[in-house]
Amino acid sequence: MASAGEVASPRPATGARALGLLRRELADAVLGSDEALGEVTIRVVRERLVEVVELLRDHEDARYELPLCVTAVDWPDREPDAPRFDVVYQLRSLQHNDVVRLLVQVSDDDPVVPTLEGVFAGMDWHEREAFDLLGIRFDGHHDLRRILLPEDWDGHPLRKDYVSFGEPIAFTHNLDWALPAQERPRDLPGESR
Amino acid sequence: MSAVLPPPGPSGRDASEQYERGREMLGVDAGLDSVDLVQLDEQTMELNMGPQHPSTHGVLRLVLDLDGEVVKACHPDIGFLHTGFEKDFERHNYWQCIPYTDRMDYLAPLTNNLGFSLAVEKLLGVEVPPRGQYLRVIMCELTRIASHLIWYGTTALDLGATTPFVYAWREREKLLDINELVSGVRMHTSFIRVGGLLADVPDEFYGMVEEVVRTFPHFIDEYETLITGNPIFRERTRGLGAISAADAINYGVTGPSLRGCGVPYDLRKAQPYSSYDHFDFDIPIGERGDIYDRYLVRMREMRESLRIIDQAMAGLPSGPVNTADRQVALPPRNEINTSMESLIRHFKLVTEGFRVPKGMTYTAVESPRGELGFLVVSDGTNRPYRVKVRAPSFSNLSALPFMAKGELLPDLVAVIGSIDIVLGDVDR
């Protein structure tokens, strides 16, 4: 029986096709690349992103025409040595049956990447989602509003420094910590506090 | 005859007097007459549809610019069901994430379990034994049929056909019974886990699945008799909501909605996972990319799913369903009675979960709605650092304004039905 696991498949790494093309055609737009688990991640210069994606979409050898998603990963501890956010793009090529991952790094004080709305109509909502949940701004987007959260929401929940929990639960042993002084009950029975 | 009709109305003059008197009584200022009706064309009316609207299949709100009955523009407003699952993933260990995946696309929970499990298994480098893989395939295909049945029933209902809905739910019960048998739960089963399954299937499973394979072709024939050749349905769907293959790809549309445009792309064939390459099945495609083609694709997909289930049941290997890697899978119950190490391992796994090596993966499966991808980032601890769910309904819905433009308002309902969104999947 053929081995059926994802890992053991004999296919070349996903995205290797795109990396080869970019190294040939736009070598100066590529900052570097990693390969792990059979998936290639290509780090791209932010200012050249649109150019890179257009090449990957239109070139015969690539045809990454289907936008899968854009999102970001927040690494707050990395600053100031390295930029805080990894903005991750996933594109699929139906013709060559391949996926590519592009990665653009942006810092906390300038979390801006150029919009890909003009390249893929489908990126519109995904960019709005990344803005909504992570506060990445997409320069040139025609309508960069929140999409999932209410318009008046404060903050960007998927950032690591956004505290979404931690409302303390008041037990008898931690009332000092859990409740402000004026809300603590005055007549607790026994010696419990 | 005249009793049925409303009483004859006041003449124009009386009406305007009544109007003025009414305004006086209400204390309304005369100046309100000059309020601008937004900045729309004289012809355009802005209409709100949803979020509490039966044909939006959940809590989808659409703001429509209408010219008479023609939809000039459609602005979807989503997020009413946003639950922050991606944030929740970061706070729970990998096992505890599985029930959250159930609740995203709640009509195809097992496919969501599978997508997440495959992504984590890839990071772990763990392989599931053949029996586990086959059972995953069987359960996912049963889920696909159950999901398509709901789509079939509700879409027909939106277009005014009540009977198919009842038929579809009658058969869906049989599939939910199988879910209940294997996992104890009818909908949010959490049956597929990282490293394998919740448990092996009980003996009654075989008979129940074989009955599904035997009887469902007849049921699908019934559905087709009700709808496929129905001239009213055809009139309402042929050529409507059409999108070309190039536009669909540009919007990131996947699944039956993309295959309806004639693009034979199905991840089960293109990048087979979980032993899908062992089975012989076809990818149904349409030609025109309209509502009717998307309908046909889904109806045929149900038959293909039955073929897959039939082959998987016939070739179902024996052996374990879970990986032998004790770092990930729980030890068998009888081993815990005799082995101290197993007891410790069981305790550690249940309390802490397992640690996943550092890395990042994008792993996708073909859900009933399209490409469901999980981008999982691990920092080496027992909790995911970041999980991004590439939900098929989200991208598919973003093409709705394009498909709906220029259609009539009643046809918009048919278009929404035809892209088969699940709002839990859109909003997450």
Domain assignment present for residue A162? The answer is yes
A179 in contact with B at a CB cutoff of 8 Å?
no
Min Cα separation B273/chain A (Å): 6
Among B395, B89, B383, which Cα is nearest to B251's?
A: B395
Determine whether the interchain pair B390/A90 forms a contact, defined as Cβ–Cβ distance below 8 Å: yes
* Residue B286 Rama label (left phi>0; alpha psi -120 to 50; beta): beta
DSSP 8-state code for residue A28 = G
Q: Higher-confidence residue: A43 or A161?
A: A43
A13 in contact with B at a CB cutoff of 8 Å?
no
Domain assignment present for residue A5? The answer is no
Determine whether the interchain pair A1/B130 forms a contact, defined as Cβ–Cβ distance below 8 Å: yes
Domain assignment present for residue A1? The answer is no
Domain assignment present for residue A63? The answer is yes
Domain assignment present for residue A188? The answer is no
| DSSP secondary structure of B326-345 | TTTSPPPHHHHHH-HHHHHH
Among A111, A89, A109, which Cα is nearest to A42's?
A: A89
Domain assignment present for residue A102? The answer is yes
Which chain A residues are within 8 Å of B402, Cβ to Cβ?
Answer: 121
CATH of the domain at A136: 3.30.460.80
Question: Angle, to 10 degrees, between the axis of helix B130-158 and the axis of helix B291-314?
Answer: 150
Q: Which among B275, B390, B399 has CB closest to A4?
A: B275
How far is it between the farthest Cα atoms of chain A? 80
Distance CA B340, CA B129 (A): 26
Which chain A residues are within 8 Å of B362, Cβ to Cβ?
Answer: 39, 68, 90, 99, 101
Min Cα separation B292/chain A (Å): 23
| DSSP secondary structure of A149-177 | S-TT--S-TTSTT----------GGGHHH
Domain locations along chain B = 85-427
A36 in contact with B at a CB cutoff of 8 Å?
yes
Domain assignment present for residue A101? The answer is yes
Task: Print the SS3 string covering A103-115.
Answer: EEEEECCECEEEC
Quote the strand ranges of B15-170, DSSP E: 44-49, 61-67, 70-77
Which chain B residues are within 8 Å of A65, Cβ to Cβ?
Answer: 249-250
Tens digits of pLDDT across chain B (428 residues) = 444 544 444 455 566 677 677 666 665 555 445 444 444 456 788 888 878 887 777 788 888 888 888 888 889 989 888 988 998 898 888 988 999 999 998 899 999 999 999 999 999 999 999 999 999 999 999 999 999 999 999 988 888 888 889 999 988 999 999 999 999 998 898 899 998 898 889 999 999 999 999 999 999 999 988 888 888 888 888 888 888 999 999 999 999 999 999 899 999 988 888 889 899 999 999 888 889 999 999 999 999 999 999 999 999 999 888 888 888 888 888 888 898 988 998 898 888 888 899 999 999 999 999 999 999 999 988 889 999 999 999 999 999 999 888 888 888 888 988 888 888 889 88
Per-window interface: A 149-168 vs B, CB < 8 A: 149-150, 157-158, 164-165
A92 in contact with B at a CB cutoff of 8 Å?
yes
A73 in contact with B at a CB cutoff of 8 Å?
yes
Domain of A122, in residue numbers:
16-183
Pairing of strands B370-378, B359-367: antiparallel
A37 in contact with B at a CB cutoff of 8 Å?
yes
- Please classify residue A154 by burial: count the beta carbons closer than 10 Å to its beta carbon, then call 0-12 exposed, 13-18 middle and 19+ buried: exposed
Domain assignment present for residue A177? The answer is yes
Which chain B residues are within 8 Å of A57, Cβ to Cβ?
Answer: none
Distance CA B355, CA B325 (A): 13
**CATH superfamily for domain B85-427:** Cytochrome-c3 Hydrogenase, chain B (1.10.645.10)
Provide the domain count of chain A.
1
- Classify B114 as helix, strand or coil: helix
